[in-house]
Amino acid sequence: MGLWGGRFAEPSDDDLRALNDSIGFDKRMYREDIAGSMAYAGAIADAGIITAEEAETIIGGLEAVRREFDEGSFVLQVGDEDIHTAVERRLTDLVGPVGGKLHTGRSRNDQVATDFRLWTLAALEQVDGLIEALQVALVEQAAVHLKTVMPGYTHLQPGQPITAAHWLMSFFWMLKRDRERLDGTRERTAVLPLGSGALSGTPYDINRQKLVEELNLNSYSQNSLDGVSDRDFVAETLFMLALMSTHLSRLAEDIIIYSNPLFGYITLNDRYSTGSSLMPQKRNADPMELARGKTGRLIGYLAGFLSTLKGLPSTYNKDLQEDKEALFGAVDTVQVILPVITAIIKTLQVNPDKMRAALDEELLATELADYLVRKGLPFRQAHHVVGEVVRHADTHQIKMSQISLEQMQVFSGLFEADVTDVFDFDVAVARRRAPGGTAPDAVAEQIAAARQWLESRSA
Ligand code: ARG
């Protein structure tokens, strides 16, 4: 006896089943499906629909089904359309007709929405832990390089000197926002749809609040029509993951560039570098390219799923079954990327000498303008004067510090002998000590704030 076979004179066509069945991918929600059903068996017993003994029989049967899945001995049968169908079919094999009472007042519509929320919550928890590990790696690596000076870029053109710690920490804050978004998503995911029935609610006296508590959720849905079709939690999770991955792709890009021999600022550990089958000298950053590349896939999952949701008529539509492969794919993808990036950051060899060698005096042009500002020149004029100094050095193929004081004074009478003090990268960096700046003191405070945030969040 199939799930809805009574209505039809003929069994389903094979091709229909190939399209319709979701068991191939939704079987990974078996734990959540069984947990939801166990709680529901209690709820219908409380409502007087089944006896306490029947509930016990059902729960015992569900435990046996779970064991079969855990051990890999569960045998799928034709007609096991999805995980909900498969579990109920096997339950009934094991405990007899009483298994058929479990679905009273419930629909696969409120069931699948419940299962998938439970699955998503567990996945968010895991992803959160993986992001945290990367944050810790960034903080630890940054703490070692508070005074390691490197060129900072805008437009990928040399801008001003910064510290390697400051560069690494910039990614910490992106990931902090990702985890805060994850928290918000988690909050809105922890809502119970069960009790919504197929669309209009349930005629039975189901204690939904008790179900909320048993399933570790925060609240129940207030409108059954919305309850069965709300997939905001999927879209939000996909967005949260796509944006996080976008952040990772930027870190990846920096690492790819900085590990290029022309820069040489960092060297990836051998265990996380890849070679070439043809060019023996190659040391490639494939994992970072994959992190960058897979971001496209993650953005695709989000765009694809929003397109699925757009314009759906009220309540459940089978289109919603598309939610699973999108989210499974997105979660699987970040679960393979994150640990490798974390390991790469942990084992990253930072090359302070290479960074220092790349420091060109032009990075101090802003300092020179600030020097004039301190002598009383409005910044706009100072900017112009220093522009002329830079051009002079450029045309004469010399460094700014090699220009004679007399020549400097042609550009501005405000230049004095102390101008030579400007040409010091460490001093320039140390000057940016207002909170959020690149000075070692400021970055030390930044790192302390980051550590405090990590602690408060894991508390
Ligand atoms: N496999 C379905 C899904 O993932 C379960 C819900 C089916 N409901 C229905 N009315 N056909 O969405």
Quick check: 216 and 129 in contact, CB under 8 A?
A: no
CA 173 to chain centre: 13
Q: b/e string for 108-125 if b means 16 or more Cβ within 10 A?
A: bbbbbbbbbbbbbbebbe
Q: Are strands 157-163 and 219-220 parallel, antiparallel or unpaired?
A: unpaired
Pocket-forming residues, ligand 1, beta carbon under 6 Å: 22, 26, 82, 108-109, 112, 316, 318, 320-321
Helix axes 83-95, 30-46, angle to 10 degrees: 60
Expressed in angstroms and rounded, the spacing between residue 34 Cα and the centre of ligand 1 is 16
Q: Which of 80, 83, 87, 112 is the best mutation target for the ligand 1 pocket, counting ligand atoms within 8 Å of the beta carbon and taking the most?
A: 112
Nearest to 186 by CA among 240, 137, 145, 147: 240
Q: Please identify, by atom number, the ligand 1 atom nearest to the C-alpha of residue 198.
A: 10
Catalytic choice (73, 155, 404, 456): 155
Helix axes 108-144, 164-189, angle to 10 degrees: 160
Quick check: 199 and 315 in contact, CB under 8 A?
A: yes
Region 109-189+216-357: CATH code: 1.20.200.10
What per-residue confidence (pLDDT) applies to 1? 55
φ, ψ at 423 (rounded to 5°)? -85, 60
Percent helix, strand, coil in the chain (nearest 5)?
A: 70, 5, 25
Catalytic status, residue 384: no
Give the domain ranges of the chain: 5-104, 109-189+216-357, 361-458
Expressed in angstroms and rounded, the spacing between residue 324 Cα and the centre of ligand 1 is 11
Asked if the domains at 109-189+216-357 and 361-458 fall in one CATH topology, the answer is no
pTM confidence score: 0.95
Instruction: Report the top-level CATH class of 361-458.
Output: mainly alpha
Q: Over its length of 459 residues, how does the chain's per-residue pLDDT go in tens digits? A: 567 778 888 888 899 999 999 999 999 999 999 999 999 999 999 999 999 999 999 999 999 999 999 999 999 999 999 999 999 999 999 999 999 999 999 999 999 999 999 999 999 999 999 999 999 999 999 999 999 999 999 999 999 999 999 999 999 999 999 999 999 999 999 999 999 999 999 999 999 999 999 999 999 999 999 999 999 999 999 999 999 999 999 999 999 999 999 999 999 998 888 888 888 888 888 999 999 999 999 999 999 999 999 999 999 999 999 999 999 999 999 999 999 999 999 999 999 999 999 999 999 999 999 999 999 999 999 999 999 999 999 999 999 999 999 999 999 999 999 999 999 999 999 999 999 999 999 999 999 999 999 999 988
Expressed in angstroms and rounded, the spacing between residue 81 Cα and the centre of ligand 1 is 9
What per-residue confidence (pLDDT) applies to 283? 82
Quick check: 243 and 330 in contact, CB under 8 A?
A: no
Q: Are strands 349-350 and 266-267 parallel, antiparallel or unpaired?
A: antiparallel
* Residue 238: both structure tokens together: 């996909």
Nearest to 206 by CA among 34, 31, 35, 39: 39
Greatest alpha-carbon span in the chain: 102
Q: Which CATH superfamily is domain 5-104 in?
A: Fumarase/aspartase (N-terminal domain) (1.10.275.10)
Catalytic choice (200, 219, 276, 307): 276
* Residue 92: both structure tokens together: 């009934």
Nearest to 139 by CA among 164, 168, 163, 162: 168
Catalytic status, residue 456: no
| Cα(90)–Cα(77) distance, integer angstroms | 9
Quick check: 356 and 378 in contact, CB under 8 A?
A: no
Residues in the chain: 459
Asked whether the CA dihedral 376, 378, 379, 380 is positive or negative, the reply is negative
* Residue 391: both structure tokens together: 């051009």
Could you write out the DSSP letters of every residue in 208-265?
A: HHHHHHHTT-SEE-S-HHHHHH--HHHHHHHHHHHHHHHHHHHHHHHHHHHTSTTT-S
